[in-house]
Structure 1
Amino acid sequence: MSTATLDEPQQHPASRPTATDSLQVIKRSGTLVGFDAAKISVAVTRAFLAVEGDDAAGSARIHDAVERVTRQVTQAISRRLKAGGKVHIEDIQDQVELALMRAGEQKVARAYVLYREAHAQERASKAPVEAHPTLTVKKASGELAPLDVGLMKAQVEHASRGLEGINGETLVEGALRNLYDGIAEEEVLSALIMTARGRIEQEPDYSAVTARLLLEQLRLETATALALPLNLPLAEVYPRALGALIHQGIRHELLDEAMAAFDLERLGAHLKPERDYQFGFLGLQTLYDRYFINWKGDRLELPQVFFMRVAMGLALKEDDPDARAVEFYDLLSSFDYMASTPTLFNSGTRHSQLSSCYLTTVQDDLEGIYGAIRDNAMLSKWAGGLGNDWTPVRAMGAHIKGTNGSSQGVVPFLKVVNDTAVAVNQGGKRKGAVCAYLESWHLDIEEFLELRKNTGDERRRTHDMNTANWVPDLLIERMREDKDWTLFSPSDAPDLHDLYGNAFRERYGYYEALAEQGRIKLFKKIPAKQLWRKMLTVLFETGHPWITFKDPCNLRSPQQHRGVVHSSNLCTEITLNTSVDEIAVCNLGSINLAAHIRDGELDVQRLERTVNTAVRMLDNVVDINYYAVPQARNSNVKHRPVGLGLMGFQDALYKLNLPYTSAEAVEFADLSMEQISYFAIRASATLASERGAYESYEGSLWQQGILPLDSISLLKENRRDGDLSVNTNSHLDWTPVRELIAKHGMRNSNVMAIAPTATISNIVGVSQSIEPAYQNLFVKSNLSGEFTVVNPSLVRDLKAAGLWDNVMVNDLKYFDGSVQQIDRIPTELKARYATAFEIDARWLVEAAARRQKWLDQAQSLNLYMAEPSGRKLDGLYQLAWERGLKTTYYLRSLGATGAEKSAPVTAPQPQVCSIDEPDCEACQ
């Protein structure tokens, strides 16, 4: 049974619309023929019959559907070309696919897509040999043969299908200029890839062309590695490739033997090759370099096999693993949701370390300190990001009873932590990463603040690790009142670290009284404003330590009945309890918010489906996960925390035509986060009805009926009047969710956290996390190399306004991706495409505050400032505190040259924290 392409000669009795009589169709050969709607009807009919069988021929439903699709395509072409004109055959076929999808005929659309793919592969394989007059290639056998230019043209034509602005002829010519006589045959395709890659800045669609050419290279590589036929279309390769991967992966001890228990034939048949065409070059290259399973350097996975392998690994312990694997695969491969990097790396493998973040508390003795460093190494080995709470370790000068000596404090040990993170680099896949936290009353805090400085004793510097302040509310209060602040060694004030809110305030005063009475000898009194100013100064100079707030993290924690949040994690979005017996673990994944904007509004039903499946996948991680240390298993199994986040927020705003700096964008941040929170909490409660509540549920805020929004009142009770200003409005009726929790409990102690998504957003091809656009045109560097990134939304709008040309590209380059000083760009577009350093950072805080009220954990919130000053930083971080934020992440600022170009400045500013500094990839 077959479908038909539109340029086949079959006739059909359908009448030809007179409005298109003057239209001409450009065939693939370049010849022109008249537009014939009957050919659309024939092709669509055959697509239906391919799905429903020949017995369905004559069905009234099919007849009506064919007429409707034909009419929609014809009207769409007519609108585009008005009275007469030319349209390429591929454009018509794209319209057919779109019409079938809009009609809800997904299976028929898929059959049509696969047929096009198969015919494109067939045309490429049958393309006439066009030998180059002088250049030869060396085949794998060692023999020389003429370079086949015809094959290059066919590959480019196939990669350009359905894309605008692609000049295949000049692309081939450009690649030929980079070839030499006797080049290895496999290098010819690489030359095409490199040539297409160099044109992305001129036309964003070249990113898709480059990705498709890379996909062809990957197809050939995996076919060889898996012993599959080389010339089959992807639609036929994929079902075989999945089974071949599983069997070879098990044989080479790369995959869990349990993976062979799946119905591989069923799962292979469900793979959707057409979804490979969603990738941009950066996304596919990232997967190719770092994520696909390989054996001795040869990739064993195609993209859809990769997603199915991840889905299978997450479904291993389901009651119906095959059905759940299909469900999980559909979500991942659609790009509606993406699991975190450790999950993508390790799902289905023999060491399925799928969790993203680990939080530890370091004990105040050598055994505890070096045990914590060992734990860091073991957790980092399997791709975990680390947050270490160092506050319990006694300060410099504190008495050591065992040796009758004095402590050297925290800093010397942090140097060892730094070097351990460098040494254990996760098998070369990415850098090891750790963040050390210290509470602001610790006597070593002033030296801790200087760890990232480029001056001073190198033995007391840690250039490769991150640092963060764990700031109690009382310090901010003392600073605002211009009062003193007292620093203690935790060996003299051992319980301060476990107290927060009013209890901390009272106990802190008690220890200050002891110091005044001379009963505590080791302490230091300084003006609170002086310490706060130094915190901001070193943040300005080095980007560290980040400022995170202890009291909101604890007072709003659902698990405050079972312990204390002593720190956040590597990327400041996780707020879980830690102790000597428990290393907190969090399992992350992110919703692609941009994919859930349909027709200018949030598609709530689609979002609901995404969240329901995503929470189930995240919960499965807890039981499947490989735990490198027992304290992590103890904590994760007992509390089952997960962190569902989001990415693509900026792209969602583009789709809604909203600038980041608008009240409407802040409202959208509020509304979208409330919807995610509603569905995520409900999904966890629903899972509890199926699988049972988490072990430590009794006594939690959940069990008390206190949801994240309600917990704001707990924070307010522990703040002075006027120190908390939080919007507490809601849009939804939360009563059904409250009733569901009261009846079944919660499956997970924590459900939401917004991580940086540094890498998975590249894979999906959307803006990172909740970030504003960094620039509209820039070069991104990561472990996969350097990539030109151009804002496709901006390009589309500029094309619509007739403004996209080479001059515009050069202007964007000169102004470092900024549109603000390009006079011909309309004011509306300048507002919509303002970049991170052109946005008043207070808008970022306001949007984050609206999200924070719905979150049971925190969010990785980068703050951008083109012209930092002490006054601006002070106001910004006090605003973050007033709005009830739990944490902040990097402070980023421009270097002097960039500042001069991107915004009017009165004087060059030193660089605070370059965007080129490695982003947090350990979480995502």
Structure 2
Amino acid sequence: MLETIDAQESTHLGDSSERTPSNAETSANQENQYAVIRRNGTVTPFDLNKIKVAMTKAFLAVEGDLALDSNRVHQSVETLANQVYQALIRRLPESGVMHIEDIQDQVELALMRAGEQKTARAYVLYRAEHEKQRQALQEDSPYSRKSQLTIRQPDGAMLPLEKININQIIELAVAEIDDVSGETLIELTLNNVFDGMTLQDLNDAMVLAARSLIDQEPNYSQVAARLLLANLRLEALSFLNQSSKNLTQSEFESHYGEYFIQYVHKASELELLDEELTRFDLKKLAKAIVPNRDLSFNYLGLQTLYDRYFIHSEEIRFELPQAFFMRVAMGLAMNEIEREEKAIEFYKVLSNFDFMCSTPTLFNSGTRRPQLSSCYLTTVPDHLFGIYDAFRDNAMLSKFAGGLGNDWTRVRGMGSYIQGTNGKSQGVVPFLKVANDTAVAVNQGGKRKGAVCAYLETWHIDIEDFLELRKNTGDERRRTHDMNSANWIPDLFMQRVIEDQDWTLFSPEEVDDLHELSGQAFAVAYSAYEDKAGRGEITLYRTVKAKELWRKMLAMLFETGHPWITFKDPCNIRYTNQHQGVVHSSNLCTEITLHTSDDEIAVCNLGSVNLPAHFNNGELDKEKLERTITTAMRMLDNVIEYNYYSVPQARNSNLKHRPVGLGIMGFHDALYIKNIPYASEEAVGFADESMELVSYLAISASNRLAQERGRYSTFEGSLWSKGILPIDSVNQLAQERGNYFNQDSSQRLNWDTLRESIVKHGMRNSNCLAIAPTATISNICGVSQSIEPTYQNLYVKSNLSGEFSVANAHLIARLKSLGLWDEVMVNDLKYFDGSVQQIDRIPDDLKALFATAFEIDSRWLVEAASRRQKWIDQAQSLNLYMAEASGKKLDQLYKLAWVRGLKTTYYLRSLGATQMEKSTSQQSKLATEPPKVCSILEPDCEACQ
């Protein structure tokens, strides 16, 4: 009876003679989206019922007719068949084709995992026997069984498969890449070829073949990217009527300039690009393009560009990678006097991955709506016209790919008096619900989800309702499941928590100046309002225990991931432009700290330096870093003039103050290069040293731009104008905090000369530095995100582009050098979720070096962030990781972040229950000790001196 296990192949899948009812979890419509390639190359529709029938008969072959009467068998078949289905479609889009061998592999795995060893063994033996029979009938060439297949060309003509030199395409893709096999890729590709498939589908089959091997050998990621390039070239050149043939990279290089010029004109004709781009000296720019930089991508980076960034018409992408980088560069050079020269300069840093602009800039530079800014911060007034104006502004800003941070503290609380109607307010929460739904309705240009974060100060009387916005229980009308939220916490509250004192909640219309005060001035005014409340002079207030409210904040943070913990006073006390206004909130990702008002929507323009790209012989190349940052700061400053502003308050603010946010990415990769574990004093020291250098160079570049272009208009009165640099403002925060502050303030570089130049010549930008998450642009560059520790050494990443295997190439290179990289190691890494801690063969020094995010005590992340923060005039997106979260650990961690002078924190990441057992045993094996930190109540203790 085992012959029926081949039912997916031997019986036409559309035959209904053996159909059984489908499982409720898997609809027929879903199944019909997929097809199966049989071994002879024909394609038939996928039918889950055939798997169920085959598995049932497999049980019959082992257990006999008694299996028919066994509920266990029926239940097992139903469960296992659906496991097979989910495994098959996991890495496919919503439709696609799968090979019969893949289906049978998954059936075999499902049987073994379920403990059905006898059935699985019989199945394996059956497959092996039939494979021998098939091989005996076939010739040696892998093409033999496919010799009659034809491939549909873009012009509709059918070409025999033998005429398409798959061997040459694949051999070029693997050329000069170590530890990859062209023969393996050819065999895997041919397994997925079927008669009548298009040339593009054939190219896809080659890409998928390479992609499937990435978890075994990360170098296949580069191979997959090269094969993907073939598809991109075919799609782009066919659209432009340049070629319908599969040109190799080397064949295409001589045509790249011609393609680029035609691409610019075509995109302008389609009104996808600004017509001004056609007036550049396109021949000069075309000569500057370096086509072989296309070969620098890994698969995830190139696929991400293709799916989300490239210019397209009717879903056809006709923008290739180097044209993309040049288009972005041209947009940023639009207003330069020598714009071709500057476009080429900008192109070089982008195409070499030395620096990468933020996503909105990459999306929109050179287009007819060049909204290039990343972040917008607003403050919402306490009246209906202002509130609904804020919704409109959110919609317009989100439409063109901006992330939003809204300050809602001014909106009166629930139960407060409304003079115009003689009624009572419903508070801030119903308006937050509308803001949530606006973000869902108006996404970012149809390219990514709309994103907004609401901020509320901790003294607002609605704060406890605000904490519960993301809960999955309670009144859905008071929940915002799609919107982020953050606590905007004054220092006085943290002091009250530590000293176990009371905390009073107010409605803002009765204490309106608290919103505008910070530090000691806030503390004095707040205490005065508490006295007034005690005398009955304030009608709406509530007193709670500060410690209990803090516990609820942490509990909600752990339960829902929100609200994030951000600190009001360091953002204001250290704010360079505090003479112009108050910082009322941060942004969507908690790295921007700029003032807002009814007339000014704060705007920030972001970009990140690729730290690993600036190493030479294991050390930072300071000269190259200076060149990159000088160019990057000019690019960011150019955004301000060239930017499209969808609301006037944003234009007003950006042109007056000209803030930018230069950050870094690939920090953990840099530690790998230096052979430094993240959880170490050496890593904290490198964070300090590297950020000081980046800060010095960025501030210097802005100072030189001021000498060339003029200082920003509100420079006079700023901290800059007084000779107070970010490192100097640390002392101001220390004076305000007193004993509740302990942040290293050491420095290495000569800041005095720069300080003098700033006082004399000014700054081009009110703010220069901010570390963004770089979640997508780091993928493009093929480096670790921002300042993040490596999540896992081997994992599947899911985003809008699909699912991708990601392997830590640094780890694998070290394992190869030790002779430890083999199939057993691959399986061990998969089993231990990418962790090396429980793999005995791996040396202890590598276990420390390649510890992943949940294996590193988060206090090390805080210590490194504290060292960076002293050099940054804004903030940093700092995620914190905790494998085994507890109230005590959270309490200590976030108090430490406050004492160490951090301005903001971002997400709290914790492990799911299914991973806890492994993570516990992993952490116990780490050789690193947690950082020695002082008691919150004893900031001058010996450990900190």
TM-score (norm 2): 0.81
Matches for 1:382-781 after TM superposition, within 5 Å = 382-721=400-739, 723-781=740-798
1:243-271 CA-to-partner distances (Å, cap 9, x unmatched) read 11211111111111111121100000110
Separation in structure 2 between the aligned mates of residue 760 and residue 148 of structure 1, nearest angstrom: 40
Displacement of 1:905 in angstroms is 8.7
Q: Does 1:334 align with 2:348?
A: no
Q: 2:875 touches 2:904 (CA, 8 Å); kept in 1?
A: yes
1:369-404 CA-to-partner distances (Å, cap 9, x unmatched) read 111011001000000000000000000000011111
The code of the aligned residue for 2:863 comes to E
**Aligned to 1:171, which of 185, 189, 199?**
185
Displacement of 1:297 in angstroms is 1.5
Separation in structure 1 between the aligned mates of residue 470 and residue 763 of structure 2, nearest angstrom: 41
1:96-140 CA-to-partner distances (Å, cap 9, x unmatched) read xxxxxxxxxxxxxxxxxxxxxxxxxxxxxxxxx999423222234
- 2:60 is matched with none
**Aligned to 2:826, which of 809, 817, 829?**
809
Separation in structure 2 between the aligned mates of residue 617 and residue 667 of structure 1, nearest angstrom: 30
- 2:294 is matched with 276
Separation in structure 2 between the aligned mates of residue 186 and residue 838 of structure 1, nearest angstrom: 43
Q: Does 1:904 align with 2:918?
A: no
The code of the aligned residue for 1:655 comes to I
Q: Does 1:886 align with 2:903?
A: yes
The code of the aligned residue for 1:556 comes to R
- 2:167 is matched with 153
Q: 1:905 to 1:131 in 2, by over 3 A?
A: closer
Corresponding residue SS for 2:161: strand
Displacement of 1:545 in angstroms is 0.3
Q: Does 1:200 align with 2:214?
A: yes
**Aligned to 2:816, which of 799, 802, 811?**
799
Q: Identity across aligned pairs (percent)?
A: 64
1:613-654 CA-to-partner distances (Å, cap 9, x unmatched) read 000000000000000000000000000000000000000000
Displacement of 1:227 in angstroms is 2.4
1:184-221 CA-to-partner distances (Å, cap 9, x unmatched) read 22211111111110000000010000000000110111
**Aligned to 1:219, which of 210, 227, 233?**
233
Corresponding residue SS for 1:246: helix
Q: 1:354 touches 1:625 (CA, 8 Å); kept in 2?
A: yes
Separation in structure 2 between the aligned mates of residue 208 and residue 378 of structure 1, nearest angstrom: 39
- 2:361 is matched with 343
Matches for 1:246-261 after TM superposition, within 5 Å = 246-261=264-279
Matches for 1:65-104 after TM superposition, within 5 Å = none
1:777-836 CA-to-partner distances (Å, cap 9, x unmatched) read 000010000000000000000000111111111111111110000111000100000000
Displacement of 1:144 in angstroms is 3.1
The code of the aligned residue for 1:891 comes to L
The code of the aligned residue for 1:878 comes to K
Separation in structure 2 between the aligned mates of residue 234 and residue 393 of structure 1, nearest angstrom: 60
Separation in structure 2 between the aligned mates of residue 851 and residue 905 of structure 1, nearest angstrom: 29
Q: 1:695 to 1:830 in 2, by over 3 A?
A: same
**Aligned to 1:860, which of 862, 877, 880?**
877
Q: 2:723 touches 2:756 (CA, 8 Å); kept in 1?
A: no
1:301-331 CA-to-partner distances (Å, cap 9, x unmatched) read 1101100000000000011000000000000
- 1:162 is matched with 176
**Aligned to 2:380, which of 357, 362, 366?**
362
Q: 1:130 touches 1:149 (CA, 8 Å); kept in 2?
A: no
420-429 or 532-541: which moved more?
420-429
1:673-712 CA-to-partner distances (Å, cap 9, x unmatched) read 0000000000001000000000110000000000000001
Separation in structure 2 between the aligned mates of residue 247 and residue 458 of structure 1, nearest angstrom: 51
Displacement of 1:425 in angstroms is 1.4
Separation in structure 2 between the aligned mates of residue 632 and residue 133 of structure 1, nearest angstrom: 63
- 1:298 is matched with 316
**Matched residue count:** 779
The code of the aligned residue for 1:768 comes to Q
Corresponding residue SS for 2:255: helix
Q: 1:390 touches 1:436 (CA, 8 Å); kept in 2?
A: yes
Q: 1:131 touches 1:147 (CA, 8 Å); kept in 2?
A: no
The CA RMSD over aligned residues, in Å, is 1.5
The code of the aligned residue for 2:843 comes to P
Separation in structure 1 between the aligned mates of residue 602 and residue 353 of structure 2, nearest angstrom: 29
TM-score (norm 1): 0.83
1:129-184 CA-to-partner distances (Å, cap 9, x unmatched) read 99942322223444433113761111101111111111111211111111112222
The code of the aligned residue for 1:771 comes to E
Q: 1:694 touches 1:748 (CA, 8 Å); kept in 2?
A: yes
Q: Does 1:825 align with 2:842?
A: yes
Separation in structure 2 between the aligned mates of residue 383 and residue 509 of structure 1, nearest angstrom: 42
Corresponding residue SS for 1:343: helix
Unaligned stretches of 5+ residues in structure 1: 1-128, 908-924
**Aligned to 2:262, which of 239, 244, 247?**
244
Separation in structure 2 between the aligned mates of residue 205 and residue 153 of structure 1, nearest angstrom: 19
Q: 2:855 touches 2:922 (CA, 8 Å); kept in 1?
A: no
Separation in structure 1 between the aligned mates of residue 659 and residue 240 of structure 2, nearest angstrom: 38
Unaligned stretches of 5+ residues in structure 2: 1-142, 925-945
Corresponding residue SS for 2:230: helix
Corresponding residue SS for 2:180: coil
Corresponding residue SS for 1:711: helix
- 1:913 is matched with none
Corresponding residue SS for 2:440: helix
Q: 1:228 touches 1:237 (CA, 8 Å); kept in 2?
A: no
Separation in structure 1 between the aligned mates of residue 534 and residue 627 of structure 2, nearest angstrom: 60
Corresponding residue SS for 1:330: helix
Separation in structure 2 between the aligned mates of residue 137 and residue 706 of structure 1, nearest angstrom: 69
Q: 1:380 touches 1:433 (CA, 8 Å); kept in 2?
A: yes
Corresponding residue SS for 1:786: strand
- 1:65 is matched with none
Separation in structure 2 between the aligned mates of residue 680 and residue 222 of structure 1, nearest angstrom: 38
- 1:32 is matched with none
Displacement of 1:902 in angstroms is 2.7
173-182 or 885-894: which moved more?
173-182
Q: 1:210 to 1:905 in 2, by over 3 A?
A: closer
Separation in structure 2 between the aligned mates of residue 686 and residue 373 of structure 1, nearest angstrom: 39
Q: 1:200 to 1:506 in 2, by over 3 A?
A: same
Separation in structure 2 between the aligned mates of residue 219 and residue 578 of structure 1, nearest angstrom: 46
282-291 or 182-191: which moved more?
182-191
Separation in structure 2 between the aligned mates of residue 282 and residue 140 of structure 1, nearest angstrom: 26
Q: Does 1:870 align with 2:884?
A: no
Separation in structure 2 between the aligned mates of residue 407 and residue 384 of structure 1, nearest angstrom: 31
Q: 1:132 touches 1:149 (CA, 8 Å); kept in 2?
A: no
Matches for 1:23-172 after TM superposition, within 5 Å = 132-148=146-162, 151-172=165-186
Q: 2:855 touches 2:923 (CA, 8 Å); kept in 1?
A: no
Q: Does 1:372 align with 2:390?
A: yes
Separation in structure 1 between the aligned mates of residue 543 and residue 278 of structure 2, nearest angstrom: 65
